[in-house]
Structure 1
Amino acid sequence: MISVEEARKNILKEIRAVGTEVISLQAAAGRVLAENVRSRRTQPPADLSAMDGFAVKAADLGTIPASLKIVGEVPAGGSYDNTVGTGEAVRIFTGAALPSGTDTIIIQEDTEFDAETVTVKEGAAKGTYVRPAGLDFSAGDIGIKAPTILTPRDIGLLAAMDIPWITVRRKPKIALLSTGDELVRPGEPLGPNQIISSNSLSIAALIEAAGGEALDLGIAQDNAESLREKVMNAKSADMLITLGGASVGDHDLIQPVLGKEGLSVDFWRIAMRPGKPLMFGNFAGIPMLGMPGNPVSSLICSFLFLIPAIDALNGLTPRTPPRQRAILTHALKENDQREDYMRAVITEETSGLPVIRLFDKQDSSMLSPLSLADCLVVRAPFAAALPEGSEVDIIPLSRCYPSI
């Protein structure tokens, strides 16, 4: 068996970023930017008023109150085409360009005015309430650097930069193949010895949330012909995920059947709980991750290995789950040779640390504790027994994977 960290390194060193495509800005939220984007315009394009009021020369405000002649008006989107002279002012509205010859805005609350004259009652320094040209960005500036997962905030910036089309990574296609005679899809007739196939749906949802495109190849029966037929549809994908059948039992067919079709195996056992029968290799030129058939095991393995692989396919720095310290509400016995990932809930916080309670049953067949869990308690191989109140490392799931 190899360690979790060694398995992660072995997987990531074989992953290459997928190609790119050009898409409209409207479709870009959540996609990974593949090229730096430079602005096509300056924002604001000219000195603009930040308030409703009067555009004046600061030099005319040496004595307050100051009486100025109103020579025009400029709304947002309009312009005043003459040069404003000494002792003159222009009525202006928020967002309008400052007329030539002015450098300051006096807000209308600080004035009294009629159709011809404005009296300035409060002075202002040069540049007051003026948004200078290029305050936000200038033409040619790099607005967003690649690689970046584009947020709604980024979309707003790109729109302001006058960018209608952008180059992004195409979504990595991840083929999913479930295996086992015992599996049926939700809603289908269920035989006396069959179970619902939850694995493919949860992993497909995780793939989509992590920035990939899930391609469900269906359920292969426990025979070579069915497995071979189903897996051939994975050759157009960027990565293959198999669910179940990766161990060495009599009904575990992944290695012997796919081995004849060109599968080369890097490793197939890992020193972790849950998730020991994890396999990684290359099938028909694409990376392949053989997940345990157990749904809890496959989800936790996906947190640790599949999500970083999807990041790498997207040209991103692979995520490493952040850890923090937490306080146990009960004792823990010593650990064995496998790194353990135990489901827990946060009950309160004390001294700045979360207080956690592990679920009484950690059986890896139980999906309900994982669904309810706030965190995973991580225990190193051969970790010593711990009394109540001890500190442990946790992976806070909401911080790592807010949409997963």
Structure 2
Amino acid sequence: MLTLEEAQAQLLRLIEPLPIERVDVPGALGRYLAEPLLARRTQPAHDVSAMDGYAVSEGDISGPWHVVGESAAGHPYDAAVTPGQAVRISTGALLPVGAGGVILQEDVSRDQHRVTLTGEGPSPLHKHVRRQGMDFPEGQEILPSGTRIGAAQAALAIAAGHRHLPVRRIPRLVVIDSGDELAADPECCEPHQIPASNGAMLAAMAQSLPVEVNRIGPVSDNLDALIHAFESAGDADIIVTSGGVSVGDHDLVRPALEAWGADLDFWRVAIRPGKPLLVARKTHGARQQIVIGLPGNPVSSHVTAYHFMLPALRALLGANRPAPMPLLSRLATQLPPCGNRREFLRGLWDGETVAVHTLQDSGALVSLATSNILIDRPANAPAAQPGDPVWVYLLQNGGIA
């Protein structure tokens, strides 16, 4: 069996980012830059005041001064400042020609057009001045390729003079639920059935990214039905299946993939839950489809989707770090020794420590839905005590995560 990192690397080597398109900045939210972003302008374009006060000439910090005008944001003072003169200035306003610094309004008293220093002047004089190019000069790389566009990145792009951004085409994902036991309608579920919840869960996970998702199923445990489902997903960039990837008599995803013409890349990963994960690919001329076969137990499906489906989608979108990043925390509860496979345990992080759920069965959805982290336990790890360091992965089931 492959380790988690080996399997992730092998999957990501199969994936080429999708073609580049240019979209407006709001349309780029949640997507990843396909090229480095260079500033088209200098910010700030001129020296500006960082505070409200009075602009005075270089070296003229003792006063008194005669107020000769005002510079407001968007309305600059159109003459030069000379020694003995001051210009009333607002935060963000351009420094007048000849001005070398800003005296805070709290440090002066004003009588008509006369301003007298009553507090301490700025030291150095330009303390309250934002110099031209302080944030970035024209031509500077302000964001590297592969950066995800959020609120701050969108603001930076606009401030740098961009209306449109280069991003990758939105991926097309098809999710296939399979199993004779699955009921499509959760309100009409016989005792021998279970509601088909995995497809909805996987689609919801994928939609944390800008992805076009279609669902197929539930598909019965029938070779022809599964082959037809794969054929129906012909325009997908990634096909994700749930269930049918183990070694039982009714686990038919592997033979269906072979009959469909896909090549198996790897099968089984040394993690719990989620060992019977598979990755395959189908070539259509110059185009390639990736198939990720996830286990059918809901927690196994969620954990493997977190570590494989989402990184694959991020790679298609051009992310510079597709795999999730762990955080270091400390345990609030004891943990028993780990088995011979790496384990991902459901738990709750309160911002300081993490507590593990008592029920870790791979079919237990309550413990998944009430968790906000996965605790990463290395294979053969010894028992751990409260206060011991532990690596965790943040989930998105609500709360602080």
Give the TM-score normalised by structure 1.
0.84
Alpha-carbon distance in structure 2 between the residues aligned to 1:276 and 1:154: 38
The answer for the alignment partner of 2:222 in structure 1 is 223
The answer for the alignment partner of 1:56 in structure 2 is 56
The answer for the alignment partner of 1:233 in structure 2 is 232
Alpha-carbon distance in structure 2 between the residues aligned to 1:106 and 1:332: 64
Alignment of 1:363 onto 2:361: yes
Distance 1:390 1:71, change over 3 A: closer
Distance 1:334 1:170, change over 3 A: closer
Q: 285, 294, 314: which is aligned to 1:311?
A: 314
The answer for the alignment partner of 1:33 in structure 2 is 33
Alignment of 1:118 onto 2:121: no
Distance 1:94 1:176, change over 3 A: same
Q: What is the CA distance between 1:28 and its match in structure 2?
A: 2.5
Alpha-carbon distance in structure 2 between the residues aligned to 1:203 and 1:346: 23
Alpha-carbon distance in structure 2 between the residues aligned to 1:347 and 1:39: 40
RMSD value, Cα: 3.2
Alpha-carbon distance in structure 2 between the residues aligned to 1:150 and 1:308: 17
Alpha-carbon distance in structure 2 between the residues aligned to 1:344 and 1:370: 8
Alpha-carbon distance in structure 2 between the residues aligned to 1:334 and 1:104: 64
Q: Which moved more, 1:3-12 or 1:149-158?
A: 3-12
Distance 1:59 1:280, change over 3 A: closer
For structure 1, the 5+ residue unaligned runs are none
Alignment of 1:209 onto 2:208: yes
Q: 393, 396, 399: which is aligned to 1:397?
A: 393
Q: What is the CA distance between 1:5 and its match in structure 2?
A: 4.0
The answer for the alignment partner of 1:183 in structure 2 is 182
Q: What is the CA distance between 1:176 and its match in structure 2?
A: 0.7
The one-letter code of the counterpart of 1:136 is D
Conserved in 1, the CA contact under 8 Å of 2:327 and 2:393?
Answer: no
Alignment of 1:295 onto 2:298: yes
For structure 2, the 5+ residue unaligned runs are none
Alpha-carbon distance in structure 1 between the residues aligned to 2:289 and 2:100: 63
Conserved in 2, the CA contact under 8 Å of 1:347 and 1:357?
Answer: no
The 3-state SS of whatever aligns with 1:135 is coil
Alpha-carbon distance in structure 2 between the residues aligned to 1:313 and 1:320: 15
The 3-state SS of whatever aligns with 1:33 is coil
Matched residues, percent identical?
A: 35
Conserved in 2, the CA contact under 8 Å of 1:48 and 1:130?
Answer: yes
Q: What is the CA distance between 1:200 and its match in structure 2?
A: 0.8
Within 5 Å, which residues of 2 pair with 1:377-396? 377-380=376-379, 383=380, 386=382, 389=385, 394-396=390-392
Conserved in 1, the CA contact under 8 Å of 2:333 and 2:356?
Answer: yes
Q: What is the CA distance between 1:328 and its match in structure 2?
A: 8.4
Conserved in 1, the CA contact under 8 Å of 2:345 and 2:356?
Answer: no
The answer for the alignment partner of 1:257 in structure 2 is 256
Distance 1:263 1:81, change over 3 A: same
Q: Which moved more, 1:249-258 or 1:198-207?
A: 249-258
Output one character per residue of 1:268-310: Cα deviation in whole Å (capped at 9) or x when no partner: 3334332232221113431111111111111121223223322
Q: What is the CA distance between 1:178 and its match in structure 2?
A: 0.9
Distance 1:84 1:174, change over 3 A: same
Distance 1:347 1:6, change over 3 A: same
The answer for the alignment partner of 2:21 in structure 1 is 21
Q: Which moved more, 1:13-22 or 1:185-194?
A: 185-194
Q: 77, 81, 84: which is aligned to 1:80?
A: 77
Distance 1:399 1:207, change over 3 A: closer
Alpha-carbon distance in structure 1 between the residues aligned to 2:157 and 2:220: 49
Q: What is the CA distance between 1:97 and its match in structure 2?
A: 1.6
Q: What is the CA distance between 1:197 and its match in structure 2?
A: 0.8
The 3-state SS of whatever aligns with 1:305 is helix
Output one character per residue of 1:316-351: Cα deviation in whole Å (capped at 9) or x when no partner: 22325537575585573673x5444344456997xx
The answer for the alignment partner of 1:160 in structure 2 is 159
Conserved in 1, the CA contact under 8 Å of 2:344 and 2:374?
Answer: no
Q: What is the CA distance between 1:391 and its match in structure 2?
A: 8.8
Distance 1:223 1:163, change over 3 A: same
Alpha-carbon distance in structure 2 between the residues aligned to 1:51 and 1:379: 53
Output one character per residue of 1:181-220: Cα deviation in whole Å (capped at 9) or x when no partner: 3212354522342210111111111222255443222322
Alignment of 1:96 onto 2:93: yes
Q: 329, 336, 340: which is aligned to 1:332?
A: 336
Q: Which moved more, 1:311-320 or 1:257-266?
A: 311-320
Conserved in 2, the CA contact under 8 Å of 1:321 and 1:400?
Answer: no
Alpha-carbon distance in structure 1 between the residues aligned to 2:389 and 2:117: 64
Output one character per residue of 1:238-296: Cα deviation in whole Å (capped at 9) or x when no partner: 11111112234332222223322211112333343322322211134311111111111
Output one character per residue of 1:140-170: Cα deviation in whole Å (capped at 9) or x when no partner: 2222111111221112212211211111122
Distance 1:113 1:329, change over 3 A: closer
Alpha-carbon distance in structure 1 between the residues aligned to 2:233 and 2:113: 77
The one-letter code of the counterpart of 1:233 is S
Distance 1:141 1:178, change over 3 A: same
Distance 1:183 1:120, change over 3 A: same
Conserved in 2, the CA contact under 8 Å of 1:343 and 1:377?
Answer: no
Q: Which moved more, 1:247-256 or 1:21-30?
A: 247-256
Alpha-carbon distance in structure 2 between the residues aligned to 1:271 and 1:77: 61
Alpha-carbon distance in structure 2 between the residues aligned to 1:53 and 1:196: 67
Q: What is the CA distance between 1:370 and its match in structure 2?
A: 2.3
